[in-house]
C-alpha cells in the first residue's frame, strides 16, 4: 500500500463536540491516493470492474453560525475496483465558493439554520443565502461525475477516474441544478430539475449524451416548494409538489421555516420526457414528504413509483439536543418516520393508488441499476441509528413475496449509501 499525500488545504475549523462535527461526522481534510488497498477480510470478487464514488460532508472552516450537517464542504472518496484489487483516492470538490474560502482563509457563507445576513458574500441555493458546495449527491453521466447540492447550485464536474475538478457544467441554468438528476444509460440522457423562490418555482430539463442542454421547461407550482428528488420512466419524468414547504409569511421576512401545510395534498407532475408544461399530467396523493424515490416504471395504463413515505414530515424536536433539537429531528429517520411505499398513477382515470410496502423505518434505498425504469423485485434500504443520521444496517425488501432480509452492523460501525453492482 503506497500512500501519496497532496498539499493540505487551508482550514480554520476548530475541534468541536457538535453532534455532526464529531464521531462518525468528524471532517477529513487530507487528500490522498493509495495504489492498492490492503484486503483485511475475505476477497474482492474478481468480476467487479468499476468505480465507487461517495460524496461526504467535510467543512474546512469554522461555521459563521450554527452548523447543519448539510452545510459541509464536499469531498469525494473513490475506490476503483478491477481484477480483485482496489485503489483509493479522495478530493475536495473545488467549487467557486470553496476556492473563495481558500483565498480568504475563513468561512464566507452561513448555513441552513443561520439567520438572513449571516453570509458575507451573495449566497446560493433556492434559499438564497447558502454556499454552493455540491455536497449532497454524486452521479455519473456520459463519463463525467457531477456533484450537486440539494438546495440547487451548479453541477460541479469531476473526472470519475482521476477525481480532477473540471469546473461547473456549461448546461446548468440560472436557477441551478438540484441534487438527484437521473440518467438513462440507454439513451445517454440526463434528466434534472431545479426549484426557486420565484415563479414558476420549478423547471425540468434534459441534457443529451454530448453534454448539451436539449430541453428545459417550467413546471409551474403554486409557490416556493422544497422538492428533493425526481424519478424517470422510459416515457415520463416525475416531479413533485409536497405540503412541506417554507411558511409564506415568514418567508416575506426572509425567514426560512419549513412546515407541513394541513389540508394540502401531495401532487405529482408526470411530464413526457421531452414534453411541454401543457403536457403535464397532475396526480394527487395523500400528504407526506419524500426525500428519495427508488425506482419508477410503466405498466399498461399505470405509472408506478416507489420511495419512502414520511408519516411525520414535521417531526417533534429532540428536546435533549438543546439548540439543535429541530435539526436533530429533521435528520432522524425515526423522528420523521419514513417507510417503503408505492404510488400507482392511472393515466386513464387520473387517480392515484398507494400501498405501504414495509413497516420498517428505512430510507436511502438502492436497486440493481439494470432494473432502472423496469419493475424491480428487490430494493435494498438502509436502517439508521435512532436519533441520528447514521446508517447502521440494511434491509433487502422482496416486493414479490414481502420477505425481508436484514443485516445489522456491529455497534459503533456505520455504513455509507451502498450501490448495487450488477453481475
Q: For residue 117, state whether it binds other proteins (rule: CB under 8 A).
A: no
By CB under 8 A, residue 164 contacts other proteins = no
Q: Among all chains, which residue has been given the C-alpha cell 475563513?
A: 106
Grouping H, G, I as helix, E, B as strand and the rest as coil, residue 53 is: strand
Rounded to whole angstroms, the Cα distance separating 245 from 35 reads 46
Window contacting other proteins (CB under 8 A); options: 39-47, 164-172, 256-264, 341-349: 39-47
How far apart are the C-alpha atoms of 104 and 87, rounded to whole Å? 34
Interface size with other proteins, residues (CB under 8 A): 84
Computed on alpha carbons and rounded to an integer, the radius of gyration of the chain in Å comes to 21
**Cα gap 61→419, rounded to integer Å:** 30
According to DSSP, the residues that pair with 272 across neighbouring strands are: 236
Residues numbered 186-205 forming contacts with other proteins, rule: CB under 8 A: 188
Which of residues 12, 187, 286, 405 is near other proteins by CB under 8 A? 405
Identify whether 200 is preceded by a cis peptide bond (ω within 30 of 0). Answer: yes
133 binding other proteins? (CB under 8 A): no
And the C-alpha cell for 302?
A: 399505470
Binding flag, residue 62, other proteins (CB under 8 A): no
Residue 174 in the binding site for other proteins (CB under 8 A) = no
Contact 73, 29 (CB under 8 A): no
Choose one: 81-89, 101-109, 191-199, 249-257; the region binding other proteins (CB under 8 A).
81-89
Residue among 16, 18, 34, 213 that touches other proteins (CB under 8 A): 34
Stretch that binds other proteins, among 77-85, 242-250, 315-323, 353-361 (CB under 8 A): 77-85
Angle at 174 between CA 169 and CA 176, to 5 degrees: 60
Q: How far is the CB of 81 from other proteins (least distance, A)?
A: 8
Asked whether the beta carbons of 363 and 380 are under 8 A apart, the reply is no
- Look at residues 422, 184, 397 and name the one whose alpha carbon lies nearest to residue 296: 184
Residue ranges in 326-385 that form contacts with other proteins under rule CB under 8 A = 366, 368-369, 378, 380
Residue 46 contacts other proteins per CB under 8 A: no
Q: Which residue from 121, 161, 223, 377 is in contact with other proteins, where contact means CB under 8 A?
A: 161
Distance between CA atoms of residues 191 and 210, nearest Å: 14
Q: Under DSSP, is residue 97 helix (H, G, I), strand (E, B) or coil?
A: helix
* Contacting other proteins within 229-258 (CB under 8 A): none
Between 59 and 243, CB nearer to other proteins: 59
275 is a site residue for other proteins (CB under 8 A): no
Residue 44 touching other proteins (CB under 8 A): yes
Give yes or no for residue 412 binding other proteins (CB under 8 A). Answer: yes
Q: Nearest CA to 27 among 51, 50, 54, 61?
A: 61
Pick the stretch among 23-31, 115-123, 165-173, 302-310 that binds other proteins (CB under 8 A).
23-31
What are the start-end ranges of the E strands in 161-292?
Answer: 165-168, 182-184, 189-195, 202-207, 213-218, 231-232, 236-241, 244-246, 258-260, 266-272, 281-285
> Does position 420 bind other proteins by CB under 8 A?
yes
Count the neighbouring beta carbons within 10 Å of the beta carbon of residue 396: 16
* Interface residue with other proteins, options 19, 129, 134, 160 (CB under 8 A): 160
400 binds other proteins (CB under 8 A): no
* 268 vs 394, beta carbon nearer other proteins: 394
Amino acid at each position: 500500500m503506497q500512500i501519496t499525500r497532496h498539499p493540505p488545504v487551508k482550514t480554520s475549523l476548530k475541534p468541536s463536540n457538535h453532534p455532526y462535527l464529531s464521531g462518525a461526522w468528524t471532517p477529513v481534510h487530507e487528500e490522498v491516493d493509495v495504489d492498492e488497498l490492503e484486503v483485511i477480510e475475505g476477497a474482492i470478487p474478481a468480476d467487479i470492474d468499476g468505480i465507487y464514488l461517495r460524496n461526504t460532508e467535510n467543512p474546512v472552516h469554522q461555521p459563521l453560525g450554527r452548523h447543519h450537517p448539510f452545510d459541509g464542504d464536499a469531498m469525494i472518496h473513490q475506490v476503483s475496483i478491477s481484477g480483485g484489487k482496489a485503489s483509493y483516492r479522495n478530493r475536495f470538490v473545488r467549487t467557486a465558493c470553496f476556492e473563495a474560502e481558500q483565498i480568504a482563509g475563513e468561512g464566507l457563507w452561513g448555513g441552513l439554520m443561520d439567520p438572513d445576513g449571516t453570509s458575507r458574500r451573495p449566497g446560493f441555493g433556492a434559499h438564497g443565502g447558502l454556499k454552493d458546495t455540491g455536497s449532497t449527491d454524486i452521479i455519473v453521466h456520459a463519463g463525467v461525475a457531477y456533484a450537486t447540492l440539494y438546495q440547487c447550485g451548479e453541477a460541479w464536474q469531476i473526472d470519475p477516474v482521476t477525481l480532477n475538478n473540471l469546473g461547473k457544467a456549461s448546461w446548468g441554468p440560472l436557477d441551478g441544478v438540484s441534487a438527484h438528476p437521473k440518467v438513462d444509460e440507454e439513451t445517454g440522457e440526463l434528466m434534472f430539475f431545479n426549484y426557486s423562490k420565484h415563479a414558476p418555482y420549478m423547471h425540468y430539463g434534459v441534457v443529451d449524451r454530448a453534454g448539451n442542454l436539449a430541453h428545459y421547461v417550467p413546471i409551474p407550482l403554486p409557490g416556493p416548494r422544497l422538492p428533493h428528488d425526481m424519478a424517470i420512466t422510459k416515457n415520463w419524468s416525475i416531479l413533485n409538489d409536497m405540503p412541506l414547504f417554507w411558511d409564506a409569511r415568514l418567508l416575506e421576512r426572509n425567514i426560512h421555516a419549513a412546515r407541513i401545510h394541513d389540508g394540502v395534498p401531495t401532487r405529482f407532475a408526470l411530464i413526457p420526457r421531452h414534453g411541454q408544461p401543457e403536457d403535464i399530467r397532475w396526480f394527487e396523493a395523500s400528504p407526506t414528504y419524500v426525500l428519495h424515490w427508488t425506482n419508477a416504471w410503466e405498466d399498461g395504463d399505470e405509472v408506478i413509483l416507489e420511495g419512502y413515505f414520511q408519516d411525520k414530515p414535521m417531526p417533534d424536536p429532540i428536546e435533549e439536543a438543546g439548540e439543535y433539537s429541530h435539526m436533530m429531528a429533521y435528520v432522524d429517520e425515526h423522528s420523521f418516520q419514513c417507510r417503503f411505499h408505492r404510488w400507482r398513477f392511472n393515466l386513464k382515470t387520473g387517480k392515484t393508488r398507494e400501498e405501504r410496502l414495509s413497516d420498517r423505518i428505512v430510507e436511502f434505498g438502492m436497486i440493481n441499476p439494470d432494473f432502472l425504469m423496469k419493475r424491480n423485485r428487490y430494493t435494498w434500504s438502509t436502517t439508521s441509528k435512532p436519533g441520528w443520521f447514521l446508517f447502521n444496517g440494511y434491509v433487502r425488501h422482496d416486493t414479490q413475496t414481502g420477505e425481508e432480509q436484514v443485516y445489522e452492523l456491529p455497534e459503533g460501525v456505520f455504513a455509507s449509501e451502498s450501490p448495487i453492482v450488477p453481475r
